Structure 1
Amino acid sequence: MTTYRELFRASGVFRIVVSQLIARFPAGMLSLAVLIHVEAQHDAYTAAGLVLAALAIGQAVAGPLTSRMFNRFGMFRVLGITLSIAAVATFSLALPDLSVPMYGLIAFIAGVATPPIQPAARSLYPSLVAPAMRTRLFAFDASVQEVIWIIGPVIVTFASLTIHSALGIVIAGLLLLAGGIWFLTIPQVRRAVSEPPAGRLGKVLASHALLMVCAVGFVIAAATAMLEAALVAIFGHGGIEAGLILALLCISSLVAGFAVGHAELTRWSLTRRLAVLAVGLGLAAMSTDFWWILAMGVVAGAGVAPVIAAITHMTSTAVAPGDVAEAFGWSTTAQLVGVAIGSSGAGLLIDEFGGQMALAGAAMVAVAGVALAALVSQGQPERDRHDGDSGRPRRVWRVQRLKA
């Protein structure tokens, strides 16, 4: 922890990390809150899954576009406008008795207007600390994000299942506003000037490393989205079992992230870390007993933050400095598409076969991710680029090509 404490001696790091953490709490709350609220209104998980898909698709469409707008309109202006629209749309999702298409439309607007706070923060990190500290900062950021998934589901399951189905959405909206406004008041954000992009929109996807990041992000997001829906379906309304399982899973992820997230990546790092998640989910799907799923959730959680730490660092080093925000936008988009497909797929499985089948589906998605990481293994970093004026080589991550 002494190593991590050194990070906060740099000006602005603490405020940026904490404010964006608060602003991003809806990421760990809104999907579950909308699932509970829409299902309560229409008594169908399929309907709730479709609304979640609309939310995630909106976020996916907006990810690269709004991040790239930093270069044209400035970070402060883009974040301020999107924050205002997203807050109004989020609160509107809490309205009762709307039709599924109306909930879907509002969710899509909320998704499109989601302020790109995470890409903004992560594009600022390299300018806040010395090159030698960047891997630690990205690892810390990826690990501390797990607080969102520890506290968020517990808040939602308690507020939405025991008080009112819409309360979780309202709380998510308030946290979005509070954290977003704080983030906008930070001097480094107000004065941020992005470097011009190296090419047209989408050119960053020519990076093999970024494509690998997007694929892995999709897998882990789809698997966790299916897990969330499965737990709510298995343990039903009126209890907090689902929230407790998710909280313990994320505590496990947080501990693992701090323990190994900053370690140097090797060829098989992603494969091993994804394998931990797949094993935990696969074993969890063998029973619907609360204590069994709780224990296997802890196993699965140990793979989450280490994977996120790895793909976050890879994203920051895979493209030119002016394209980092867009690269994070594409990475976020891939994860949100995973959420959309995972949520809607889980809804269908739950309505047709029950929650345990959705849990098995999450395990199968994770296994597919392990196979992908093994087949297109992450190569060793090549020391052929440098970080600015530091003179130190910058790691460039490339996906090893398959040999015929």
Structure 2
Amino acid sequence: MPTYRELLRTPGVARIIAAQLTARFPSGMVSLGLLIHVEHLTHSYAAAGTVLAAVSIGQAVSGPVTSRWMGRWGMRPVLTLLTLVYAAALTALALIVAPVAVLVLLGLVAGLSTPPVQSAVRTIYPKLVNARQLTALYSLDASLQEMIWVMAPVLVTFLAIQVSSVLALLVVVAVAVLGGAWFILSPEVGRVRIPRSRAAIGRVLRKPTVVLATVIGVLFIGSAAAVEAGVVAAFGEGGLESGLVLAVFALGSLAGGLGSGGIPMSPWSTARRLCIVALGTGLTLLWIDNPWWLGAVLFIAGVGFAPALAVMLASTSASVKFSETAEAYGWINTGQLIGAALGSMAAGFAIDGVGPAGAYVVSVALVVSAALVAAVFHRGFPDLRHRDASPIPDTEQLPVIR
């Protein structure tokens, strides 16, 4: 904990962490808010699912592109424009009654215009603290984001069901605008200038670490999405047990992330931490319908969750040029979005076939696959035990007068 106290005393760190968490808070609200609202509007879960799919596709496509734009036009202009378009699309979804095709189009626009706050803040971090503090900052970031996934779904579900789904979406818009403005106007965002990348888009995927983090993210986040679907299927959408079990999962991740901030990261760290997730997830199969058991074993799984994510973030930072960091994190985020969609889909088919146990089997298979990939290709991760996680400096040729 002394490491985090020192970190939070660094000028600007506490402010930028709070601002980016607020700006990213809508990401934990929008899916459930849209699902409930579109289903109320159309009386069709198929229509609601199609709108959500359009949002996810838009986010997956835009992530690397909009992240790269920040190096060309600057963070503030890009984030401001995208926040306004995102808010307008969600406001339209909340207020208009339209055919499903129009709702799908608006969902696609909302997905495409999702502000890349996550890529932006993780690009700022290396310029905000000294190299010795950087790995601890990535661990803190990976841990605190669990607050989004604990609090946001509860808030939006309460508003949508108990008050109004329209109000729930308008609250999402308000938080996106206010949180986005707080982040955009933060001095740190104005001080950091991302150099324009000279490489073609996608060139950063030639870096083994970026590819590994993206592929592992697909499997890793897919596993989390599958286990969440299994918990909801076991206890029902409105069951108190579902929310409590998933909250314990997130609290385990928060505890693990905070506890691992000072542990040096080796090329094997990702595989080791994923093994903890695999152990906890695998134990769910022993007693699939007991909330006490599931809470206990998913807490164990959570202990490895944020630490594994922190290794991938720090390793990516240490493996690319500063001008490439935003795009690299954009690709990783795209992989995680794809993983969440595929994990939920596979779990849904498994639940229809064999019940909640099928979702847990899918989850175990995905996280074991992620651990195996991390172990087999561990040389693709840098050894951060004796070096920092700072990005590679951008260099260019200088003219020489002879």
- TM-score, normalised to structure 2's length? 0.87
Q: Is 1:76 paired with 2:80?
A: no
User: Where does 1:2-401 land on structure 2 (aligned, <5 Å)?
Assistant: 2-38=2-38, 48-94=48-94, 100-165=100-165, 168-285=168-285, 286-351=287-352, 353-378=354-379, 381=382
Measure, in 2, the Cα distance between the counterparts of 1:329 and 1:313. Answer: 15
Measure, in 1, the Cα distance between the counterparts of 2:127 and 2:390. Answer: 14
Change (3 A) 1:243 1:44: farther
Identity %: 40
Measure, in 2, the Cα distance between the counterparts of 1:370 and 1:237. Answer: 30
Query: 2:284 touches 2:293 (CA, 8 Å); kept in 1?
Result: yes
Measure, in 2, the Cα distance between the counterparts of 1:91 and 1:113. Answer: 13
Query: 2:314 touches 2:389 (CA, 8 Å); kept in 1?
Result: no
Compare the two structures and name the one with the higher helix fraction. Answer: 2
Unaligned 5+ runs, structure 2: 393-402
Instruction: Report the alpha carbon displacement of residue 324 of structure 1 after superposing the two structures with TM.
Output: 0.9
1:401 is matched with which residue?
none
Residues 29-76 of structure 1: per-residue CA shift (max 9 Å, x gap)? 323333444455666665544433322221111111111111221111
Moved more, 234-243 or 326-335: 234-243
> 2:312 corresponds to which letter in structure 1?
I
Change (3 A) 1:324 1:307: same
Change (3 A) 1:239 1:91: farther
Aligned residues: 390
> 2:81 corresponds to which letter in structure 1?
I
Residues 313-356 of structure 1: per-residue CA shift (max 9 Å, x gap)? 01111111111111111111111111222233334444555444
Moved more, 307-316 or 262-271: 262-271
Measure, in 2, the Cα distance between the counterparts of 1:112 and 1:330. Answer: 14
> 1:342 corresponds to which letter in structure 2?
G
> 2:68 corresponds to which letter in structure 1?
R
Moved more, 246-255 or 24-33: 24-33
Query: 2:83 touches 2:180 (CA, 8 Å); kept in 1?
Result: yes
> 2:315 corresponds to which letter in structure 1?
M
Other structure's SS at 2:193 match? coil
Measure, in 2, the Cα distance between the counterparts of 1:328 and 1:27. Answer: 16
Measure, in 1, the Cα distance between the counterparts of 2:56 and 2:389. Answer: 37
- TM-score, normalised to structure 1's length? 0.86
Other structure's SS at 1:253 match? helix
Change (3 A) 1:84 1:107: same
Measure, in 1, the Cα distance between the counterparts of 2:311 and 2:36. Answer: 32
Change (3 A) 1:379 1:315: closer
Measure, in 2, the Cα distance between the counterparts of 1:321 and 1:134. Answer: 14
Measure, in 2, the Cα distance between the counterparts of 1:240 and 1:377. Answer: 40
Change (3 A) 1:230 1:31: farther
Residues 92-136 of structure 1: per-residue CA shift (max 9 Å, x gap)? 444587655444332221111000111111111111111111112
Instruction: Report the alpha carbon displacement of residue 200 of structure 1 after superposing the two structures with TM.
Output: 1.3
Unaligned 5+ runs, structure 1: 387-391, 397-404
Query: 2:63 touches 2:333 (CA, 8 Å); kept in 1?
Result: yes
Residues 200-256 of structure 1: per-residue CA shift (max 9 Å, x gap)? 111111100111111121122212223333333333344433222221111111010
Instruction: Report the alpha carbon displacement of residue 172 of structure 1 after superposing the two structures with TM.
Output: 2.9
Other structure's SS at 2:378 match? coil
Measure, in 1, the Cα distance between the counterparts of 2:216 and 2:189. Answer: 29
Moved more, 263-272 or 34-43: 34-43
Query: 2:16 touches 2:183 (CA, 8 Å); kept in 1?
Result: yes
Instruction: Report the alpha carbon displacement of residue 196 of structure 1 after superposing the two structures with TM.
Output: 2.4
Query: 1:267 touches 1:378 (CA, 8 Å); kept in 2?
Result: yes
> 1:340 corresponds to which letter in structure 2?
A
Query: 2:127 touches 2:192 (CA, 8 Å); kept in 1?
Result: no
Instruction: Report the alpha carbon displacement of residue 166 of structure 1 after superposing the two structures with TM.
Output: 5.3
Other structure's SS at 2:172 match? helix
Query: 1:154 touches 1:240 (CA, 8 Å); kept in 2?
Result: no
Other structure's SS at 1:69 match? helix
Measure, in 2, the Cα distance between the counterparts of 1:219 and 1:29. Answer: 23
Change (3 A) 1:131 1:349: same
Other structure's SS at 1:270 match? helix
